[in-house]
Structure 1
Amino acid sequence: MLKLQDIVKTYENGHRAVRGINLDIQHGEFIVLVGPSGCGKSSLLRSIAGLETINSGAIYLNGRRVDQVKPAERDIAMVFQNYALYPHMTVYQNLAYGLKNRGVDRETIEQKIHSVAATLKIEAYLDRKPAKLSGGQRQRVAMGRAIVRDPQLFLFDEPLSNLDAALRSHMRLEIKKLQRQLNVTSVYVTHDQVEAMTLADRIVVLKEGSIEQIGTPQEVYHQPASTFVASFIGSPAMNFISAEASHNALRVVGQTLALSTPITSPNITLGIRPEQALLHCDEPALKLRFKVSVIEPLGPNQLVHGVIVDGQQQQPFVALTAEMTLPIGEEIDLWIPLAQLHLFDEQGKRIHSQCQLS
């Protein structure tokens, strides 16, 4: 449905925001572009919309090349972070504006607007101006304006970042339901990895203008391609502990583990998700001596901050446990199932080797 081929975007100041990106998106797919500020996700989205001119590469929409076509003729609708509604127009007029410009007759416009307003539950606001609406209502109107156009492609540029946490959570669910109902191919930009995990069919993790990993939320979370992806996706972030490898053995915190396949890189980073650090374990596991420093209650769970004690070394570590009393300032044992260990080489790239008890 959407094909990005070797997209490069360099700004006049020499900043290369997008570095040769290739991406194929299927019909009806919900793709989320995620990454830290400055990674190129908004530049890429604006390039697809035609709001930025690409320096090289090609963009195809449903088999038609559109990177040299005017934005208005690309059959793409965009929902912006700041809603971009006309303040002097009513909700109805805002929804109708794009259709009027395309010469759609009044009866069709009215029919489309009332259908979309019913879908988005904004019928009661059609005579109001944007200033009289809440942030969530304005965002629904902005989405409605995109939907009435019946485009081939939806683009979302951090549409929920101006909303409070509770409303953001509610609107996430609404967007997901709406996209499933309309079955419109969508590309969504966010820096919020919770939004990425909950909304996406596939996540595209960007780093410094390049794609670091593409995968389903489950793949990106459970098989991160690099330490960058592992630390960016997941809240709290993955823990990292240094280890040493020698052929098919791994030495970590005074213990030796066998490796299913030999490793050539001597310096290894071991990745551990906070929720995989257990107080009791009945399967083969790595034992860590953990000194508790701070506990953050989260209701049913708690974040336990501290350090892994390894001889004279101390490495920061966070565990996610059920709500319980743990001794502050004292050492306890944590157990990490060997199947849950992630291995990364000196460049931070994932190593596909399993740990076993030696």
Structure 2
Amino acid sequence: MLSLQQLKKTYENGHVAVKGVDINVEQGEFIVLVGPSGCGKSSILRSIAGLEAITGGEIHLAGRRVDKEKPALRDIAMVFQNYALYPHMTVYNNLAYGLKNRGVDKAEIDQKIQDVAKLLKIEEYLERKPAKLSGGQRQRVAMGRAIVRQPKLFLFDEPLSNLDAALRAHMRLEIKKLQRKTGITSVYVTHDQVEAMTLADRIVVLNGGVIEQIGTPSEVYHQPASMFVASFIGSPAMNFLDAQMVTNTLTLNKQTIDLNGVISTENGPVTVGIRPESASLEPIDNSLQMSMDVSVIEPLGPNQLVHGKWMGQTLTIVTPEVPLEINQPLKFIVAKRHLHLFDRDKKRVHVEREVFNDAKSMAIA
């Protein structure tokens, strides 16, 4: 449905925002572009919409090249962070505006609006103006204005960033259900990795204008392609420790663990990544055994975040809600299947193992 081929964007001040990006989006797919500020995700979205002229590459939509077409001709609808509603118009007229401009019959406009209002549960707001609506209601209207056009492609530019935490979580669910109902191909931009994990069919992780990894939420979480992806996806962030690898034997602070059959790697220095939720307080055979001095405990209800020091390095792990003493050692275990290894270039070492869908880890994330 959507194909970006060697997309490049350089601004007048010389800043290269997008450095030759290739992305292919299937019909009906929900793709999320995620990354820190300045990674190029908004530049990509605005380029697809036609709000930015691209410097190089091509954009194809439904089999035709559109990067040289005007935005109005691309058959794309965009939902903005600030809603972008007309304040002097009622909700009904906001929804109708784009259809009127296209010369759609009045009766057909009314039917489309009633259908969309019912879908989004905004029937009772149709005669109100945006100033009389809450943030969540305005966002529904903004989505309704996009849906009523029945475009080939939805673009979402951080649409939930202005909402409070509880409403954000609710609207995430609403957007996902809505996209499933309509089946419209969607590209969603966010810096929030929780939104990315919960909404996406596939995630595109961007860093400095290049793609670090494209994969399902499970793939980028359980098999991050680089240390950047490993640190960006998952909350709390992954712990990183220096180690040595010799003939599939990992040595970490004089402790050795045989990784034969689990991890295949070249010899030499490696970085071991350990997700906080992979730590266990129960014994596990052939595992990495560690101990840290507890410094801070953050209760999370059924779980708790435990921060501490190991060999001068700061570590964070997730444990069940058990009593622990500050400044006392805490022993924990990490199964070898949960170890992530990265080479000198901070890229993932080849791994021979199944992807583990850990319900606890996804709940924390």
Structures share a fold, TM > 0.5?
A: yes
Q: Name structure 1 gaps, 5 residues minimum.
A: none
> 1:230 Cα deviation (Å)?
0.4
What per-residue deviation string (whole Å, max 9, x for no partner) do you get for residues 115-170 of structure 1?
00000000101011100000000000000000000000000000000000000000
**Equivalent position amino acid for 2:274 in 1:** I
Does the CA contact (< 8 Å) of 1:277 and 1:336 recur in 2?
yes
1:158-173 aligned at under 5 Å gives the runs 158-173=158-173
Q: Deviations for 1:46-77, whole angstroms, at most 9, x for unmatched residues?
A: 00000000011000001010000000000000
CA root-mean-square deviation: 1.2
Higher strand residue share: 1
Structure 2: any 5+ residue segments left out of the alignment? 354-365
Q: 1:280-295 to 2 correspondence within 5 Å?
A: 280-295=282-297
1:265–1:161 distance in 2 versus 1, CA, 3 Å: farther
Could you tell me whether the CA contact under 8 Å between 1:253 and 1:288 is conserved in 2? Answer: no
- Number of equivalent positions: 351
Distance 2:174 2:151 in 1: 19
Query: What SS is found at the alignment partner of 1:58?
Result: strand
**Letter in structure 2 aligned against 1:42:** S
Do residues 268 (structure 1) and 270 (structure 2) align? yes
User: How many Å apart are 1:324 and its aligned residue?
Assistant: 1.2
- Asked whether the 8 Å contact 1:339–1:354 carries over to 2, the reply is no
What amino acid is the match of 1:137? Q
Paired AA for residue 245 in structure 1: M
In structure 2, what is the equivalent of residue 305 of structure 1?
A: 307
Shift of 1:264: 3.1
- Equivalent AA in structure 2 for residue 274 of structure 1: P
Q: Give the match for residue 246 of structure 1.
A: 246
2-side partners of 1:80 and 1:262: how far apart?
A: 45
| AA at the equivalent of 1:305 | H
- 1:269-303 CA distances to partner (integer Å, 9 max, x unpaired)? 10001011111133321000111110001111110
Q: Structure 2-normalised TM-score? A: 0.94
Secondary structure in 1 matching 2:312: strand
AA aligned opposite 1:211: I
Alpha-carbon distance between aligned partners in 1 of 2:265 and 2:289, rounded to the nearest angstrom: 22
For residues 287-332 of structure 1, give each alpha carbon's deviation from its aligned partner in whole angstroms, at most 9, with x where no partner exists. Answer: 0011111000111111000011xxxx32111011111111110112
Matching residue of 1:340: 338
Map residues 12-23 of structure 1 onto 2, 5 A cutoff: 12-23=12-23
Secondary structure of 1:36 counterpart: coil
Which aligned pairs between 1:113-262 and structure 2 lie closer than 5 A?
A: 113-260=113-260
Residue identity over aligned pairs, in percent, reads 68
Letter in 2 for 1:294: V
Q: Conserved in 2, the CA contact under 8 Å of 1:293 and 1:305?
A: yes
Structure 1 residue 257: Cα displacement:
2.1
Moved over 4 A (4+): none
For 1:72 and 1:307, locate their aligned partners in 2 and report how far apart those are by CA, in whole Å: 56
Shift of 1:353: 4.3
Give the match's secondary structure for 1:263: coil
With the length of structure 1 as denominator, give the TM-score of the two structures.
Answer: 0.96
